[in-house]
């Protein structure tokens, strides 16, 4: 058995990357956001999470929210940002009252072989409500609650609905690719990140590449269009790019 948890929250925002100024959420959680929730509960450099399916327990309604944000990007190499001089009010179209069921597998990396150990650790932490850092639904201010899925939880409020909906193009995840030559030649794509290898942490220079897929909600489950699960091919492509270039 793999990972099977329920997550829910009062608000959520899974931002569409095509909107540059105002935040507009996808209608449901993205696979990358679901992975982030699992990593918030239990994270180790020896594993990565492969999201299989996401059940829509509560679709949630859209909610318009006006928030204060800053207009400049923070950097440890520049001058400190004075919030009063960089404050902007922006409208966000978020989701209200959502709940999801996340099913995933643990995949080894960095030479790991004992997957059962990590799966057992994750299950115990989920059952106790423990986490590495507080899980959130897209934005850090939208905290998420979670619990391990049990068969006794079956019922009207805990079963994926009969919803069928075409979502269209959706963000699957982002690959962080170490490539010093690309970093030098393309300043617009420059990205600095760290690589975690057991207890060793190294800084890398490269770029980020987003991957998208055609998504639909099929009988209450978010899947790839025409399939019964999310695209494993993209997961392995991202893993190959990151492993081949020495990323975290």
What domain range is 70 assigned to? Answer: 3-244
The predicted pLDDT at position 82 comes to: 73
Count up the domains in the chain and report the number: 1
The predicted pLDDT at position 247 comes to: 43
Question: What's the CA gap between 199 and 45, in Å, rounded?
Answer: 9
pTM to 2 decimal places: 0.86
Closest by CA to 51, choosing from 68, 28, 73, 34, is 34
Dihedral sign, Cα of residue 31, residue 34, residue 35, residue 36: positive
Dihedral sign, Cα of residue 127, residue 148, residue 29, residue 169: positive
Dihedral sign, Cα of residue 105, residue 111, residue 117, residue 121: negative
The predicted pLDDT at position 113 comes to: 86
Q: Is residue 36 classed as helix, strand or coil in its secondary structure?
A: helix
Q: CA 195, 139, 141, 4: dihedral to nearest 10 degrees?
A: -80
Closest by CA to 158, choosing from 6, 44, 45, 34, is 6
CATH of the domain at 120: 3.30.70.2660
**Cα distances (angstroms) measured from residue 132 to each of 125, 147, 148, 235:** 9, 15, 16, 23
Closest by CA to 29, choosing from 104, 88, 82, 85, is 104
Q: Which residues pair with 218 in a beta bridge?
A: 221
What does each of the 248 residues of the chain score in pLDDT, given as a tens digit?
589 999 999 999 999 988 877 889 999 999 999 999 999 999 988 899 999 999 999 999 999 988 777 766 666 666 677 766 777 777 889 999 999 999 999 999 878 888 999 999 999 999 999 998 999 999 999 999 999 998 656 655 566 668 899 999 999 999 988 888 888 888 877 788 777 766 677 788 888 899 999 999 999 999 999 999 999 999 999 999 887 644 44
Task: Return the residue matching tokens 């990593």.
Answer: 39
Compute the C-alpha angle 207/209/211, nearest 5°. Answer: 170
Q: Max alpha carbon distance in the chain (Å)?
A: 56
């Amino acid at each position: 058995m793999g990972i099977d948890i329920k997550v829910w929250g009062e608000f959520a925002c899974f931002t569409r990357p095509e909107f540059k100024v105002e935040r507009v959420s996808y209608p449901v959680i993205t696979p990358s956001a679901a992975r982030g929730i699992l990593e918030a509960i239990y994270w180790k450099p020896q594993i990565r999470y492969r999201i299989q399916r996401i059940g829509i327990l509560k679709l949630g309604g859209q909610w318009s929210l006006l928030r204060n944000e800053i207009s400049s990007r923070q950097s440890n190499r520049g001058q400190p940002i004075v919030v009063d001089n960089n404050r902007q009010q922006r409208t966000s179209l978020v989701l209200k009252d959502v709940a999801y069921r996340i099913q995933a597998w643990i995949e080894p990396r960095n030479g790991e072989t004992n997957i059962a150990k990590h799966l057992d650790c994750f299950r115990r932490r989920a059952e106790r409500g423990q986490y590495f850092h507080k899980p959130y639904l897209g934005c850090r201010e939208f905290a998420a609650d979670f619990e391990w899925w049990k068969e006794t939880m079956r019922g009207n409020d805990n079963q994926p609905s009969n919803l069928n909906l075409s979502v269209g193009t959706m963000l699957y995840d982002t690959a962080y690719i170490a490539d010093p030559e690309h970093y030098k030649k393309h300043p617009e794509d420059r990205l600095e990140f760290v690589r975690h290898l057991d207890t060793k942490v190294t800084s890398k220079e490269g770029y980020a590449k987003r991957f998208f897929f055609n998504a639909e909600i099929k009988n209450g489950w978010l899947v790839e269009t025409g399939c019964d699960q999310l695209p494993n091919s993209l997961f392995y492509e991202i893993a190959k790019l990151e492993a081949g270039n020495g990323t975290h």
